[in-house]
Each structure stands twice: as C-alpha cells, then as structure tokens.
Structure 1
Amino acid sequence: MKAIIDTDWLRGHIHDEDLRIIDCRFSMGNPAEGRERYKENHIPGAVFFDLEKDLSGYVKNHGGRHPLPNMKNFLRKVEDVGIDNDTAVVIYDEKEGAFAGRCWWLFQYIGHEKVYILNGGFAAWEKAGGKTESTVPVYPSKSYRPSFNETIVASLDEVRSIADGVRDTPLIDSRSRERYLGQEEPIDRIPGHIPGATNLPWTEGVKDGYFIQGEQQYDRFAHLNKNEPVIVYCGSGVTATPNFISLKEAGFNHVKLYVGSYSDWVSYENHTVEKE
C-alpha cells in the first residue's frame, strides 16, 4: 500500500480499532482557523494536530519559519492520542495536501510505516457523503518507540555543497515560479532561490486537491534518476512535502527534505541567492 488512500478505503476501515485519523486543517493567514473548523465538524474519530503547535518547533534565528518540533513533545502528542507503532494513521487537511504532507513526513521521520494521506482531504470526504461529527474523542494513551529516519533529512551542509557547486544532487524548489524567479516574495526577506536549484512547483502534482497518479506524476520527474538522491525544499518545509510524497509515489528511493528550506537559507548573511 502506498502513501495515498481514497475516501472509499477510509469509509471501509473507519471503525478499525488499530486506525487513528488526524485532522491537519490549517490556514497560514489565520492560524486559529484549522482548530476552529475541527471543533465545528471533522471526520468521525479524528484528532487534531496543529501545524505550528504540534508539527513545528519554536522559531529561532536559524532553522526557518517551521522548524522541526521538539521530538519529545511530538512523541508525547502521538502517544496521548493513542498511537503506537502498530497503529495505521490516516491524515487529512482541507484538500491542499501540504499540511497533511508535513504531518505524514514527520511520521516517516519517527519511523512509522503505516501512515497515509486521504486524497482530496476533508473536501473529498464531504463530497463523497461521508459523515462528520463535532465530538472531540479521547483515547487511552499508548507507548511509541521511535526509530528516527535521518536519511530523509537534508542537512544545511548538503544544501550548501550544492549551492557551491561541489555536489550535483538535484535540488528542487517547490514554490511558485514567481517566487523561484524572485519576481515576488510575500514572506521571506530576500527574493530568489538557492543557487543550483530547479523549479518544480508542488501544485503541479496536486490538482484540485488530489495527488495526480501514475505516469502523470512520473512524467514530472522523468529527467531525474530514480536511484540517485533528490532534495526538495520550499519556503519553510511545508509545501515541499507534497513533492516529497510525489517523488516517492513515482518510485524515487532517496528523497530528502531540507526542513528549514528557503526561510532558513536566507537567515544566513553569507548565503547568496539567484534570481531569474
């Protein structure tokens, strides 16, 4: 079973005792909106993980706008909602795929194998006539034994070596074309992209909230070698995760996320950027 499941699969397994559903709805413009929407209604049995409170750590001088969370805190959250190493986890956001993707990636990082994204998110669930509820469930806590997978993390030194021309590993900028070219920059202090990066916007792999499948996904990366490492980044390590997932779905074996991404890169005065 791959990373993406559909509403039919979830409908057939929603009452499984070894299944936990995670709601990751979030709005960058209004950080409280996701939790409020969760309280109003959500997929039955779902628990809520907040992008900034659960899936990210405190912002510092370096590390980007959404650095990795404190792993002890993240694991405590995982255990508190009744997830152990044998629990199947299904994650959804509204339909973007990016917030669910960040959560999915973190479960990969702690070594969890049975973790999936609901294709089309909450919007697809409602469209399919799926039931919703406002009850906030409480589950008995469980114990989780992490096995951290550092092979899916790209270090700053790795990215620097690409920018300096020492390493020729493909570096994919997952942001919009306009931000990559430095034509606009709504968030970070310097427009442009990391030297050596190519642009493959994450939105090209997620159409109308659904991850494209099969050959369509593979065609996006046909110029790359499946057996060689690939590094993805975005603004802050969130919207690059759909590209990470798309690469894995397309059969790439060695995909890494630069978690700090562009917001971390430009936090260093000595780093250069490219435009156009």
Structure 2
Amino acid sequence: MYSTLVQVDELNDLLAAGSVLIADCSYDLFDTAAGRKAWHEARIPGAVHVDLGKDLSSVSDGTNGRHPLPDRETLAARLRELGLDRDMQVVAYDRSGGFYAARLWWSLRWLGHEAVAVLDGGFQAWCEAGGAVESGDAAARPAGDFTASASLEPEPIGADEILSGLAEGAHRILDARDAARFRGEPAPLDTVSGHIPGAVCRCYRDNLGPDGRLVSVEQLRAAFDPLIAGVERGAVVSQCGSGVTACHNLLAMRHAGLGGARLYPGSWSEWTADPSRPIATGD
C-alpha cells in the first residue's frame, strides 16, 4: 500500500497487478474547464478525471472560501461512481506540481481511505519515463463499493477557532502561499492582501525540486522542523488561499514523518470575507 507518494515504476507495477484507480486531478484556477480538457487530450491509460471545482469542493457562498469542502457522503458517492472500491489503491496526479492531486489525497484520507498516494513528478514524470498515454472519451467503469469511514486526518479547523486562539498563540499557522502574497503584495486571487496574524510562510513550491518531484525526506524535515518546533502536532494548521495548496504541505509533512497538522479549508479566501478578522502584512 502507498500512502504518500508513488514513483512511476511503482505505478507501472500497480497497473500490471490491476487493482488501482488512477485519478487525473488536472485543473486551472483561471480556466476551470482546462483540467478536464487536458485529461481528454492526454492521460495515463485508465485514468478518471477528478475535478477540484465540481468534485472536491462544494458551492462557495462568498463567506466560506473559494473551495469549501464537499459533503463527505456526496464525495464518497462520486468516488464510487468513478469506480473506487474500499480496498483499492488510488494514485492521484496532475500537471501542476501535485497540489491539486494533494487535495484529493487529503480528501480521501478525510473519508477514511488510507491507500491513496500522489504520483511523484505528476504527468510530466510519467511522460518523461516513456509511459503510455491515451486520449479521447474514456470507457465507462463499473461503480465501486467505497464508503466513507472515520477520518484518518485531524478535524479541519474553522475561522472561529483560529480567531479565538490568536491572542494566546494557540496555533502555529503555516501559510502555503508564496512570499509576495504573504507579505501583502496584490495578487489576482486575493481580494485583500496580507496574512493571518502570527502565521509563517511555507510556500508549497519549496516542497519540490527542480525536477518537479518532492525533495528528500531529510530536506523536508530540515525545512518544517524549525517551523513547528515546540508545538503539539494538533496545534499546527496548514492554510493557503482556499485550502488546496495547503494540502501539499500536509502531504509533504506526512511523507517526512511529521503528520498530524490540521487543514484550514476556508483559508485566506474565507478569512478575508469577514472584514472584522485581523490581517497582518510584511514578513
């Protein structure tokens, strides 16, 4: 069973064995139809498309962030429809460094499914290794028997709990956005610039090496250990713009043996929806 990362050769072995659901999570925040189009044009054989907006999020009402979590049973039903069985290994990939795939990884763990991993290096690594590619409409898959069970991840945290703990420094908040957005420089996705007071910047891109794969466990530990030193694991919170790239930090931490942090699904897009919540700027 793979529970964080899968390498290309390992995915080939899983395909040969025949019990794997491959999920193409390709997406584009600025062109929401682009991910499915890319999947239709070229994908790992047998891969289904899992859409961030339609499958891994519920409807945003303007106060709950851009990509609020879906209802657990609704998501479980969608995954059954795509062919997921209870005992099946899931391998998620995308074309963007793995951060959309990481949202599916976290979501499946939230539904109690441990056998889920992200393809290290994504679709690019698959193609570079000479992996087969298919295109066009996908053959229908029989429905699976997957059902949600107890979460394998800590309970997600909400804005009210973060706000109530700010004065006491109850949480160590890791912001997965880039340094410019964290400091407060204007960005297309942010209606208000800055960060949650007390948060520290840990951009998800720093989890990746030049080849688009996760850096070594040793490098990840060296990066995250100083940020969470002296903090109980359940008090560590991963946040970003809308609860997506935050999952990439959670994946990297668990791969490095530092699991147990909580996801703030609403993240910055929810936090700034209420003008009474405090905002900090600068480094």
Q: Work out whether the TM-score is over 0.5.
A: yes
| Distance in 1 separating the partners of 2:62 and 2:168 | 26
Matched residue of 2:22: which SS? strand
Say whether 1:270 aligns with 2:263.
Answer: no
Shift of 1:95: 4.0
Cα 1:127–1:146 change in 2 (3 A) is same
Provide the aligned C-alpha RMSD in A. Answer: 1.6
Say whether 1:142 aligns with 2:144.
Answer: yes
| Distance in 1 separating the partners of 2:3 and 2:53 | 27
1:127-138 equivalence runs, <5 A: 127-134=128-135, 135-138=137-140
Shift of 1:249: 1.4
Give the counterpart letter for 1:267 in structure 2. Answer: A
Moved more, 30-39 or 71-80: 71-80
**Structure 2 counterpart of 1:153:** 156
Matched residue of 1:22: which SS? strand
Moved more, 201-210 or 21-30: 201-210
1:23-53, CA deviations, whole angstroms, 9 ceiling, x for partnerless residues? Answer: 0111112111111111112101110111101
| Distance in 2 separating the partners of 1:173 and 1:265 | 13
1:57-96 equivalence runs, <5 A: 57-96=58-97
Give the counterpart letter for 2:57 in structure 1. Answer: S
CA contact (8 A) 2:3 2:114 kept: no
CA contact (8 A) 1:202 1:240 kept: yes
Give the counterpart letter for 1:138 in structure 2. Answer: A
CA contact (8 A) 1:19 1:90 kept: yes
Give the counterpart letter for 2:244 in structure 1. Answer: V
1:82-121 equivalence runs, <5 A: 82-121=83-122
| Distance in 2 separating the partners of 1:155 and 1:244 | 17
CA contact (8 A) 1:59 1:67 kept: yes
Matched residue of 1:91: which SS? strand
| Distance in 1 separating the partners of 2:238 and 2:116 | 20
Say whether 1:255 aligns with 2:256.
Answer: no
Q: Structure 2, unaligned stretches of length 5 or more?
A: none
Matched residue of 1:139: which SS? coil
CA contact (8 A) 2:204 2:246 kept: yes
CA contact (8 A) 2:92 2:105 kept: yes
| Distance in 1 separating the partners of 2:108 and 2:171 | 25
| Distance in 2 separating the partners of 1:274 and 1:227 | 24
Give the counterpart letter for 2:188 in structure 1. Answer: P
Shift of 1:182: 0.3
| Distance in 1 separating the partners of 2:218 and 2:192 | 36
- Give the TM-score of the pair, scaled to structure 2: 0.92
**Structure 2 counterpart of 1:20:** 21
Cα 1:93–1:127 change in 2 (3 A) is same
Shift of 1:196: 1.2
Give the counterpart letter for 2:245 in structure 1. Answer: T
**Structure 2 counterpart of 1:175:** 177
CA contact (8 A) 2:169 2:198 kept: no
Moved more, 6-15 or 152-161: 152-161
1:196 equivalent among 198, 202, 205: 198
Cα 1:220–1:257 change in 2 (3 A) is same
CA contact (8 A) 1:95 1:210 kept: no
CA contact (8 A) 1:102 1:241 kept: yes
Give the counterpart letter for 1:31 in structure 2. Answer: T
Shift of 1:228: 2.6
1:203-242 equivalence runs, <5 A: 203-208=205-210, 209-223=212-226, 224-225=228-229, 228-229=233-234, 230-242=236-248
CA contact (8 A) 1:161 1:167 kept: no
Cα 1:243–1:253 change in 2 (3 A) is closer
Shift of 1:198: 0.7
| Distance in 2 separating the partners of 1:80 and 1:16 | 22
| Distance in 1 separating the partners of 2:96 and 2:277 | 35
Cα 1:105–1:13 change in 2 (3 A) is same
- Give the TM-score of the pair, scaled to structure 1: 0.94
